[in-house]
Amino acid sequence: MAEGIEIFPKQDELRKGEFGNAIRGPLGIHRGANRRFWFYGADYDLEKQISYLNRLRKVSEEQIRTFIAGKTMPPEFDRQRSSADQSAPFVHASGREFRILDHVGKVRKVGRNYVAQCPSCAEAGQDRSGDNLAISIEDPRKYLCWAGCRKEMIRRAVGCPIPVRQSA
């Protein structure tokens, strides 16, 4: 296999209905960047790119199995571990754990996340495209606003501020 060629999918597992990462190839134009991405090692011409791809050695499933035989998942990537987040979730005054999905409108699935309109951004008249808030599908307690709103701002915007813990 040529140096620098990545084997896909890069995920260690895919659940039913999920897709792995796509290979960014020369056959189309990336919608986000609005430009074509070329493979290194061939001229920047579509026919020469296709010819280059056809010359690459194909890797069989058996070759991949041999390559990964005896390897284990590094602990830092093991999804079975429990995280600190899971041991101490935020609990609302009602005694119920806070769930961001209960407080956002329509969500879309994008990769391993749901995306939705950030309540804090919406309150400020921003995030009209409704995709600033990323919410982990695997653990919806993990969410992040790509525009920089902090969790405190988001929780306050939905009417469930993070309780202040009193020190003893």
Residue ranges covered by each domain of the chain: 1-81, 84-157
Q: What is the dihedral of CA 162, 165, 166, 168, to 10 degrees?
A: 180
Q: What is the pLDDT of residue 118?
A: 92
Return the percentage of the chain with pLDDT > 70, whole number: 66
Q: What is the largest CA-CA distance in the chain?
A: 71
Q: Please state which of the ranges 23-27, 115-119, 142-146 shows the lowest mean pLDDT.
A: 23-27
Beta strands across the sheet bearing 108-110? 108-110, 113-116, 133-136, 143-145
Between the CA of residue 133 and those of 25, 36, 60, 103, 105, what are the distances in Å?
28, 28, 39, 12, 11
Over residues 140-164, mean pLDDT? 88
Span 75-91, average pLDDT: 50
Pairwise CA distance, residues 115 & 113, whole Å:
6
pLDDT at 86 over 60: no
